[in-house]
Structure 1
Amino acid sequence: MPYDFRRLIGSARRQAAIIVAMAIILFQAVPAMSAPAEIEVDGLLLPADTKVEAGSASPFAGAWVGRWDGVLKTILVVESIDAEGVASVIYSVAANPQRGFDRAWFRLAGRVEGSRMLVEGRGFSLALKFSKTGRLRAVFGDGYSFAILAKRDLKEMIQPGAEIDWSPGTSLGLATCLTEDNEPVELETVLYKPAGPGPHPLAIVNHGSTGLGNDPELFGQTWSHDWLADVLNERGYLVAFPQRRGRGRSGGLYAEGLEADRTKGYSCDPERALAGADRAIEDLDAAIAALRRRDDITAGPVLMAGVSRGGMLAAVHAGHHPAEVSGVINFVGGWIGELCETSETINQNLVRRASAFQRPMLWLYGEDDPYYSIDHTRAMHAEFTEAGGSADYHAIEVRGSGNGHWVAAIPPLWMDLVEAYLDSLSD
């Protein structure tokens, strides 16, 4: 059953998510199990007899938690692994009322081969691989959904009322130089730390917009990207996802180019839209300055990345501070979508500003993007290079109709390109 991606447009949390087509397949294919007694773990269920065999030498053994596509909570408990690599596994997944299925758990068989494990049930499979961070990279089936799983203590998890850290990231409030109404503004930032005490080079990943900008409920959703963070952690980066003013749990007003009547959402007026971009740059500058005060971050250049509006922001920030940025990864970047007749004027103004960064960037765009067509993004790239910028541009096919804006949600589409680009930065 295909998922309607257009329902995702406008959601900050779901901008990088292809929500759980895997769960629909799973629940159609496998009857839900039940037990006389079950353990509730932060809304999910495990059988009452869940246990981890003592003394297992395999690093897979134990309890793992994560979020499919950054949203749907899941637990994987590897109870035992025999000498032949056959594993007994409990898989639990949260309810998704929007898709009409309830929370459930399944006891399954897995097989371990080196740093990989395959868990199979009737009609579906989960492929897991260790990353160098010690986390598991999980892929459902043939690549419908993705998750990063972090190890947790099972005994602590099953305590009544236990709170679970479902993401490897940690949310904190950054004290910044920003003020509104003479009050200091904190910016919520989600940090993903690599192994070791550091100091580590800093990578910043910027969130996008909220679709049309006319739903205030979406402003309060915090966005991060577990998989991209893990890729960067693996290479030693401390990864930060700052939520700009009025977004997530950040203080201040969200005012990135909205109409004077905020119920109308984002403005197509170039002056108003570009003023919103300048405000976002100000927030990003403030977040980086605050992060620079940490002992676990180096004083060297920052790697910039972002998705959608955040991809454009990453590029423009590099143009403003070329000596302070090591590289830029731009996923489907733009400031205003083509629903605005002024989008070319606005977006090309910004890419000209970005062109002051003279080292190569990586630009990744999706075909059949409802926000930014390939013709539009190629024109942005041409304007950028004509102004003196350098970017390796890729147009990527995303399966399904109208799904091109979700490139970042599908790691196999970009892993090789991103890793090659990161290699080039260290050459």
Structure 2
Amino acid sequence: MLYQLFLLIALTFTSVASAKDHQIDGVPLPQNVKITLPQNANSPYRQWLGTWAGAWGDGLKHILVVRSVSSDGKAQIIYAIGANPAIGIKPEWTKHEVTISKDKLTISFPGASAAYELMASGELKAHYARGFIRAVAVMKKVELDAITKPGAKLVWKSGKSEFIETDLMEDGEPVRLEVVIFKPSGPGPFPLAVINHGSTGRGNDATMFGYTWSDVGLAAFLNQRGWMVAFPQRRGRGKSDGLYDEGFSKTRSKGYTCDADISLAGAERALVDVEAAISVLRARPDVAPSSILIGGQSRGGILAVAYAGKHPEQVRGVVNFVGGWMGELCPSAKLINETLFKTGASFDHPTLWLYGKGDPYYSVKHSQGNFEAFRKAGGKGEFNVFDVPGKYGHYVAGYEELWGDVLDKYLRTLTK
């Protein structure tokens, strides 16, 4: 999915970069770039002027330069991206004239758009859309003169990867887990949201185990509402220590097994990792001493529900994006998924379930069946289904425009 994202962003461009350009940590800008202040010092558009830096999906470097803004909101801008040699993306920049309207700046490309909105934190939240592909970046204002000096480096990512020491042991050695942290503006301490990753498809491509997962868009959404967001990487995933062992076939190269006992044991191992991460995260001085919001994508979603049932005293809310442990092609999927969801039924507060039509792993019918099993076991919640662009419902989390109002409403109930 990231490959498609970065490639389609690159296809937006007709290159005008040259060897004479400034190179800002791999992102080009024209040599003659400058910022022109408006004649009216009280112009409502003045706050847009300047240079903004971030990364699409926290992976593809991006700079937006708002060079000038007229009294009617017309702005001259430069849009630039860095390189991703692994998939053939070259550094590029283009010039555009746009109109700022209602705290939003939108650039239109052939078949695509990039929209930026000012947040209360003073940052920009950027949304890229091309067909059914979506990406988010959080952009911070930087000084143009400073970043165009030779050798200048920027902090591009909005999330920070950290390692936490846990009480987990493997082969007699302590296990560190990688966690990606997104903090809201302000001094804190902040209420904590823990968002859990999913699987790696069929589990038969070991190169995917080392990918560190986070969701910039969801993190920004929660940061805007005051939550500190943590994305723990379970054992053997991302840069975490240990073996990734969440229900594999006896021959690991075949991927995940449909054997219910082995699969459910893998889920229990994952829940142990989640508990280990949460116990460390809750003890941080920048985390408020209160119950947490827990959520996740796919396997992470079902883990969030199950964890709340096992540790209800720690949790105030649950957000489940397309949760499930084994896809429907597995004959034991119904047994495995319903067993785990029913584990969460003892959580005595409403949960939020967010699913998409056209999910190749979990059809709406299958997921509604899981929800009904959860409800019959005593669970509380609201089940939502969305029409996802491109009809690929497993990536509903990437479409804030679909679930944003629903999640915002749910979060407000948690603060009452």
Normalising by structure 1, we get a TM-score of 0.89
Quote the residue 1:426 is aligned against. 415
- How far off its partner does 1:149 sit? 2.6
1:37-75 per-residue CA deviation (whole Å, 9 max, x = no partner) reads 112233332212233346877222222233334543322
* Aligned residue among 147, 155, 176 for 2:136: 147
CA–CA distance in structure 2, aligned partners of residues 260 and 239 of structure 1 = 36
1:285 aligns with 2:268: no
- How far off its partner does 1:391 sit? 1.4
1:176/1:186 contact within 8 Å kept: yes
Quote the residue 1:3 is aligned against. none
1:77 aligns with 2:65: yes
Quote the residue 2:79 is aligned against. 91
Quote the residue 2:405 is aligned against. 416
- How far off its partner does 1:97 sit? 6.5
CA–CA distance in structure 1, aligned partners of residues 377 and 192 of structure 2 = 28
Quote the residue 2:358 is aligned against. 368
- How far off its partner does 1:93 sit? 2.2
Quote the residue 1:41 is aligned against. 24
- How far off its partner does 1:337 sit? 0.9
Residues 85-164 of structure 1 mapped to structure 2, 5 A cutoff: 85-95=73-83, 102-120=90-108, 124-140=112-128, 144-153=133-142, 154-164=144-154
**Change beyond 3 A, Cα 1:335–1:155:** farther
2:177/2:277 contact within 8 Å kept: yes
Residues 8-407 of structure 1 mapped to structure 2, 5 A cutoff: 8=1, 14=2, 19=5, 23=9, 26-27=12-13, 31-35=14-18, 37-53=20-36, 58-95=46-83, 102-120=90-108, 124-140=112-128, 144-153=133-142, 154-401=144-391, 403-407=392-396
CA–CA distance in structure 2, aligned partners of residues 353 and 61 of structure 1 = 52
Gaps of 5+ in 2: none
CA–CA distance in structure 2, aligned partners of residues 123 and 269 of structure 1 = 45
CA–CA distance in structure 1, aligned partners of residues 189 and 4 of structure 2 = 34
- How far off its partner does 1:201 sit? 0.7
Counterpart of 1:239, as a letter, is V
CA–CA distance in structure 2, aligned partners of residues 222 and 126 of structure 1 = 25
1:69/1:145 contact within 8 Å kept: no
**Change beyond 3 A, Cα 1:123–1:187:** closer
Counterpart of 1:192, as a letter, is F
Question: Which piece of structure 1 moves more, 188-197 or 142-151?
Answer: 142-151
**Change beyond 3 A, Cα 1:161–1:180:** farther
2:364/2:385 contact within 8 Å kept: yes
Question: Which piece of structure 1 moves more, 157-166 or 309-318?
Answer: 157-166
Residue 19 of structure 1 aligns to a residue in which SS? helix
1:95/1:101 contact within 8 Å kept: yes
Question: Which piece of structure 1 moves more, 169-178 or 59-68?
Answer: 59-68
Residue 422 of structure 1 aligns to a residue in which SS? helix
Counterpart of 2:165, as a letter, is A
Sequence identity, in percent? 42
2:234/2:274 contact within 8 Å kept: yes
Counterpart of 1:39, as a letter, is H
CA–CA distance in structure 1, aligned partners of residues 287 and 233 of structure 2 = 19
Question: Which piece of structure 1 moves more, 228-237 or 52-61?
Answer: 52-61
CA–CA distance in structure 2, aligned partners of residues 184 and 47 of structure 1 = 50
CA–CA distance in structure 1, aligned partners of residues 161 and 89 of structure 2 = 30
1:73-115 per-residue CA deviation (whole Å, 9 max, x = no partner) reads 3221222223332222110124466876533110111222342
**Change beyond 3 A, Cα 1:390–1:22:** same
Counterpart of 1:104, as a letter, is E
Residue 389 of structure 2 aligns to a residue in which SS? coil
Counterpart of 1:210, as a letter, is T
**Change beyond 3 A, Cα 1:269–1:161:** farther
Counterpart of 2:128, as a letter, is F
Matched length: 409
Counterpart of 1:369, as a letter, is D
- CA-based RMSD of the aligned residues comes to 2.3
**Change beyond 3 A, Cα 1:112–1:399:** closer
Higher RCO structure, 1 or 2 (CA under 8 Å, sep 6+): 1
Counterpart of 1:38, as a letter, is D
1:201/1:300 contact within 8 Å kept: yes
Gaps of 5+ in 1: 1-7, 9-13
**Change beyond 3 A, Cα 1:156–1:173:** farther
CA–CA distance in structure 1, aligned partners of residues 111 and 200 of structure 2 = 35
2:194/2:229 contact within 8 Å kept: yes
- How far off its partner does 1:320 sit? 0.5
